[in-house]
A and B are shown apart, each in its own frame.
Chain A
Amino acid sequence: MVSPAIALAFLPLLLTLIIKYRYFFVLFYRAVLIRIWKDCVTGLSREERAFQYVLTHATPGDPDSILDTFDVWCSKVEFISNIGPKKGKILDRLLMEHSPLTVLELGAHCGYSTVRIARSLPLGARLYSIEMDQGNAAIAEKVIRLAGFDDDTVELIVNPSDEVIPQLRSDYNLERLDFVFMDHWKKCYLPDLQMLEGSGLLGKGSIILADNVLFPGAPKFLRYIRKSGLYEWRIHRATLEYSKGIRDGMAELVYQGIK
């Protein structure tokens, strides 16, 4: 039997781990435990609950209000991994600077980032938003319409990204993508990027912005862009959305083409 003194000697380790990784514990609690609990209690999915909250609290037709409501819900009530207000600012800035005309969004989830992008697009620009999950897509659709963007501005495509991307050129008559925002499955970042390269939709100066490259993280993606030489890239360091202590980053890639 291990003596209690030895067990006590492990106390500092325990304390250290708890203090050091407190943000992760909090995140685990908010994103997993509460979610399971609420799922059981309400019988609705997380996205539906979020939409209900937005519907009751936000001003229809006002994207800012919708975004703010989302932020409040995500930081106070439950957790959904949207892009969040801080990293969203970076996104806004990039959009403002480059005012892209054709934007592709991979992973709409429940429409937060779609609204965010559509809000800062110039006149006449078009946003293609791809969402794999049916339920999420339905909610995203509702949120987008609630924010007052019509079909001309935002086109929601409900399909897995790896099926949609090769057909973008033929089905949607796209010539070139000015801006791509990636926020879907982290594992799909790299194949989708390669697919985009292969489709020839990226031109010189096209910008690709990938969220969550550090946490949960897309190491292969980062390794690839480091090596490939097709891009000028940088990582905007920030923290995970709605959480202070977890580091995260967005990778900004500018397609340079083959030199």
Chain B
Amino acid sequence: MVEKFFQDHERKMPRDSLITSENDSEQDADLSLQEEHESKTHRTKRRDGDRQKKKRRNERRKGGTRAREGEEDLQAVSEKRERSKRKRAKSKQETSRRENNEEEEAQLTGGKGTKARKDIRNEKTRRMEKKEVGEVEENVDKGKKKQGSTKKGEKKEDGGKQLVKGKAREVKKKKHKKAETSSEPETSEEDDDEEEDNDKDVVRPECLSPEELEKLKEAVDERKKLIQSLRGKPWSMKKKLATLRESQEFVEKYEGALGKGKGRKLYAYKVLMTKKWMKFQRDFENFKTACIPWEMKIKEIESHFGSSVASYFIFLRWMYGINMILFGLTFGLVMVPEALMGRPYGSMPRKTVPRAEEASAMDFAVLWDFGGYAQYSVLFYGYYNSQRTVGWLKFRMPLSYFLVGVGTVAYSYMVVIRTMARNANESGVGDDNSFNFSWKMFTSWDYLIGNAETADNKFASITTSFKEAILEEQESHKDDNIHLTRFLRVLANFLVLCCLAGSGYLIYFVVRRSQKFALDGLENHTWWERNEVNMVMSLLGMFCPMLFDVISTLENYHPRVALQWQLGRIFALFLGNLYTFIIALMDEINLKRKEEKIVKFNITMWEASLYNGTVSENSTASPVTINPADVPRGPCWETMVGQEFVRLIISDTMTTYITLLIGDFLRAVLVRFLNYCWCWDLEAGFPSYSEFDVSGNVLGLIFNQGMIWMGSFYAPCLPALNVIRLHVSMYLQCWAVMCCNVPQERVFKASGSNNFYMAMLLVILFLSTLPAIYTIVSIPPSFDCGPFSGKNRMFDVIHETLESDFPPWFSKVFSYASNPGLVLPFILLMVLAIYYLQSTSKSYREANVELKKKLQMQNEENKRKNKRAALKAQMDLEEARMTAQEQQRNNNASVQDQEDDTDIHSSVQRPCQEKYGCNPPPPVGGRGRQMPSSRDPGSRTYNRGNHGPSGYLPGFARQSEPRMYRVPSLQRH
């Protein structure tokens, strides 16, 4: 019975399968398709008869499973199949449960399943055998001999085999080609095959013949493949899980049974090792994740607050990394050498607290202001000695100081620019505007959110963004209220400018006042007055952004645009404040330098008087020992600058933390606990919990970093301070976010503005190095403090090193190289190179855009083509159905009555014409002639018959053909 079905199956398949298999050369990518085709060709070939029997038997022998092919083997085949089926049913019941196997299963019942699946592998196997003919053939022969009953005629001569195989390959050239591509990975499998075949009598499933083993192995492989590709399958998760579990169980169960004896052990060992290795890899991945600092914290925050808040923390971490490196540089190359190898405290005037300050040098208030002992320590510029080398290592302290100062800035530039470039690559050339709704539709969800409330918020924000987008789209069409909007925007900007000017003036005023205080002497003033500048700057930096935020609601921008405006304004505010501060500092530097001149003069006078006095007293001129604390000294403006920056950082940090504690924590506590006894809902209504202000925080961080860059030349302790600050704020802010903030109502995605922040950082870096470089280059260092004391300019240290530490030819080369005649062309060249690179990148971008457009066009074209093809197919189908109906009816009609023919035609015709709506206009002449008899349906059919073949629809010609022959004859009647 099975046989019969088998034959039926064969009879049905061959013709079209032959056709398809012949023109399927491009389908090799799709494995399943290929399998199918191959199985079909195989079947077809089997029908080719006895001529190729030999060849086929050969193939079968080689492949192991092909034994079931030949006609005379059919009996055996069916038996075998039965057995294998039973085995299958017994050993892997789950096969039937797998849906992707269902077609195969169906084929199996038709006797084809195993073959269909196996053919491709057999192809591969054969290819492999081609390579290692000798041993494999032996093995195969051995294997064949063992199954005496089924393979009675299997005494094949090896010599002829080669030849026949060649023929076989000719027939299946295409398939071979396909198999070739994938044959390499099968090598190990092949080995296993050999091992299997070699000692198959030690098996646990002793009853298994090599064929079945092969089958089992293939099933196992298939399961493995399935497990791998499971993720991409378009199934429901439940089904996937079920399939995965089943497959894993199956593999677990039968993997061990595959190899036998030695090979089996080896195989099991291999499998075991693979598993161990995978586990190790996974653990290692976990370990790596655990090693990233704060990763878990950030992930948690990300799941609660969305990626934008998380991006702030990632930014913070990145900043922390950079500051660690800056700190390492300054600490390792400047502070530690000076502290360990330089002259100790108290050995020189610059390293000693002056006598006047000694009494209060240890007071907390003084130390908190970084005066007293803090001022005369490695933390500040003034402490460093100008001796060329320190310690037994001959460490070049001044040079190191200078190079570290330059190196930190250079490193920062490098890192920022590199990150920017990487970000730019990631963001690509996406234009968000052209497919606004599609973008929103498919990309707006933040998949990292793991908190229900945040998800709600995100959902709401997506819906609102949709609403807004729709509104925008509508408004862009009508733009009625544009004048009002414009006016409001101008007004908002005006207000913001007023605010900026006000804050700038306030800072200027405060700085001037502080100078007055400084002239009066700081001791006469209160703490508030002394710290006025920092306080005012911090407060303004904190409150003005809020005001901007409120003002920006006037403008009615899209939130993303509004965010950028907001960022720009805060940026302007911070920058204005910072530069006001710097300008004030410059004034102070000039004051100090004037003071310094006087002091310098006084000191010479003092020294002269001292020496004169001693000389006059005793002529031996022994060195006078004066306590360094008593030596008069200059004001050392560098230390002053450093101190100012450190104070600024400290006050900034304090403000941030206090704001956090009061604005967030205290508020949250109040809201939370007062809510029990309040007349409205504090949590949802008026004060509510605060939201995490990403933009403000990021900008604060950026400006903080700018101050570090600016001040770290004069205060080497700044990176250390900043590291501490960032470390604390990491923990503090993580905690504050999780405990007292609520997710924003408008949850942004962070990716868009990432590079925006980076660009800001770059600008700030540039703007903050500017004053530092200016002071280094244009102002001479103090005469009695710092590593460059006694030099005309700070960078003279390079010259000095070149002259004394390098061979003369080097300094010569260097002086040549620094010749403007050489430097200028070099700069020119660099500019040209940059220009070139920039233009090429621009052209690439354009090309990208073009390609994108092209892709889009092609897509559209394809869509149209597909649509047309579908339409055509539908029409063909319709037409075929019509024809069939027509024929039937014609038959009926011819049997019934010849005279009624025309009526039937017309009745058939009309619905058809109405349906297609494509009644070709009859030629005017013919129509005019037949006008009187236009009621006659025959004429219509006639016209139609003439026009049909040239019409748009191919159906008409054939449809009216049977009528064409008859209708004229009717008319002739």
- Collect the chain B residues with CB atoms within 8 Å of residue A217's CB: 680-681, 683-685
Q: Who on chain A is nearest to B680 by CB?
A: A216
Q: Does B513 sit at the interface, judged by CB under 8 A?
A: yes
- Collect the chain A residues with CB atoms within 8 Å of residue B686's CB: 21, 24, 215
A21, chain B: closest CB distance, angstroms: 7
Assess whether B539 is in contact with A10, with CB atoms less than 8 Å apart.
yes
- Collect the chain A residues with CB atoms within 8 Å of residue B532's CB: 3, 5-6
Assess whether B543 is in contact with A5, with CB atoms less than 8 Å apart.
no
Assess whether A3 is in contact with B528, with CB atoms less than 8 Å apart.
yes
Assess whether A13 is in contact with B543, with CB atoms less than 8 Å apart.
yes
Assess whether B499 is in contact with A214, with CB atoms less than 8 Å apart.
no
Which of B27-35, B382-390, B544-552, B909-917 contacts the other chain?
A: B544-552
Complex Cα–Cα for A6 and B547 (A): 17
Known: A16-B550, A19-B550, A216-B679. A9 touches B685 (CB 8 A): no
- Collect the chain B residues with CB atoms within 8 Å of residue A246's CB: 685
Assess whether B675 is in contact with A12, with CB atoms less than 8 Å apart.
no
CB-contact partner of B536 in A6, A15, A215, A218, under 8 A = A6
Q: Does A20 sit at the interface, judged by CB under 8 A?
A: yes
Complex Cα–Cα for A16 and B552 (A): 12
- Collect the chain A residues with CB atoms within 8 Å of residue B685's CB: 214-217, 246
B519-534 interface (Cβ within 8 A of A): 526, 528-529, 532
- Collect the chain A residues with CB atoms within 8 Å of residue B772's CB: none
Q: Does A41 sit at the interface, judged by CB under 8 A?
A: no
Assess whether A219 is in contact with B543, with CB atoms less than 8 Å apart.
no
Describe B's contact surface by its main secondary structure. Answer: helix
Complex Cα–Cα for A87 and B683 (A): 22
- Collect the chain A residues with CB atoms within 8 Å of residue B684's CB: 214-215, 217, 219, 222
- Collect the chain B residues with CB atoms within 8 Å of residue A222's CB: 684
Complex Cα–Cα for A16 and B549 (A): 9
Q: Who on chain A is nearest to B535 by CB?
A: A6
Complex Cα–Cα for A8 and B536 (A): 9
A12, chain B: closest CB distance, angstroms: 4
Q: Who on chain B is nearest to A247 by CB?
A: B685
Assess whether A12 is in contact with B506, with CB atoms less than 8 Å apart.
no
Assess whether A12 is in contact with B544, with CB atoms less than 8 Å apart.
yes
The digit string for A1-34, where 1 denotes a CB below 8 A from any CB of B, is 1110110111111011001110010000000000
Complex Cα–Cα for A257 and B34 (A): 56
Assess whether A214 is in contact with B681, with CB atoms less than 8 Å apart.
yes
Complex Cα–Cα for A5 and B684 (A): 35
Known: A5-B532, A215-B684, A216-B680. A10 touches B550 (CB 8 A): no
A249, chain B: closest CB distance, angstroms: 9
- Collect the chain A residues with CB atoms within 8 Å of residue B447's CB: none
A239, chain B: closest CB distance, angstroms: 12
A247, chain B: closest CB distance, angstroms: 8
B546, chain A: closest CB distance, angstroms: 4
A185-206 interface (Cβ within 8 A of B): 186
Assess whether B681 is in contact with A219, with CB atoms less than 8 Å apart.
yes
Q: Who on chain B is nearest to A226 by CB?
A: B452
CB-contact partner of B528 in A1, A11, A218, under 8 A = A1
Complex Cα–Cα for A115 and B681 (A): 28
Assess whether B544 is in contact with A5, with CB atoms less than 8 Å apart.
no
Known: A19-B550, A217-B681, A219-B675. A10 touches B543 (CB 8 A): yes
Complex Cα–Cα for A89 and B860 (A): 46
- Collect the chain B residues with CB atoms within 8 Å of residue A24's CB: 686
Complex Cα–Cα for A180 and B211 (A): 75
A8-65 interface (Cβ within 8 A of B): 8-13, 15-16, 19-21, 24
- Collect the chain A residues with CB atoms within 8 Å of residue B513's CB: 5
- Collect the chain A residues with CB atoms within 8 Å of residue B509's CB: 5
Assess whether B526 is in contact with A1, with CB atoms less than 8 Å apart.
yes
Assess whether A12 is in contact with B547, with CB atoms less than 8 Å apart.
yes
A134, chain B: closest CB distance, angstroms: 22
B153, chain A: closest CB distance, angstroms: 70
CB-contact partner of B546 in A1, A5, A16, A215, under 8 A = A16
CB-contact partner of B539 in A9, A186, A218, under 8 A = A9
Max chain B C-beta neighbours (<10 A), residue from A8, A9, A186, A216: A9
Assess whether B529 is in contact with A218, with CB atoms less than 8 Å apart.
no
B577, chain A: closest CB distance, angstroms: 11
CB-contact partner of B681 in A2, A19, A216, under 8 A = A216
Q: Who on chain A is nearest to B679 by CB?
A: A216
A29, chain B: closest CB distance, angstroms: 15
- Collect the chain B residues with CB atoms within 8 Å of residue A21's CB: 686
Max chain A C-beta neighbours (<10 A), residue from B540, B542, B547, B679: B547
A81, chain B: closest CB distance, angstroms: 11
Q: Does B578 sit at the interface, judged by CB under 8 A?
A: no
- Collect the chain A residues with CB atoms within 8 Å of residue B455's CB: none
Q: Who on chain B is nearest to A13 by CB?
A: B543
- Collect the chain A residues with CB atoms within 8 Å of residue B539's CB: 6, 9-10, 13
A80, chain B: closest CB distance, angstroms: 16
Return the 5 tightest CB-CB contacts between A and B, nearest first.
A217-B681, A216-B680, A9-B539, A12-B543, A13-B543
| Chain B contacts to A: CB under 8 angstroms | 499, 503, 506, 509-510, 513, 526, 528-529, 532, 535-536, 539-540, 542-544, 546-547, 549-551, 675, 679-681, 683-686
15 more A-B residue pairs beyond the given contacts A3-B532, A8-B536, A216-B679, with a C-beta to C-beta distance below 8 A = A3-B528, A5-B506, A6-B528, A6-B539, A9-B539, A13-B546, A15-B547, A20-B550, A186-B681, A214-B685, A215-B686, A217-B683, A217-B684, A219-B675, A246-B685
19 A–B contact pairs at CB < 8 A? A3-B532, A5-B506, A5-B510, A6-B528, A6-B532, A6-B539, A8-B536, A10-B539, A12-B503, A12-B540, A13-B539, A13-B547, A15-B550, A16-B550, A19-B550, A214-B681, A216-B679, A217-B684, A222-B684
| Chain A contacts to B: CB under 8 angstroms | 1-3, 5-6, 8-13, 15-16, 19-21, 24, 186, 214-219, 222, 246
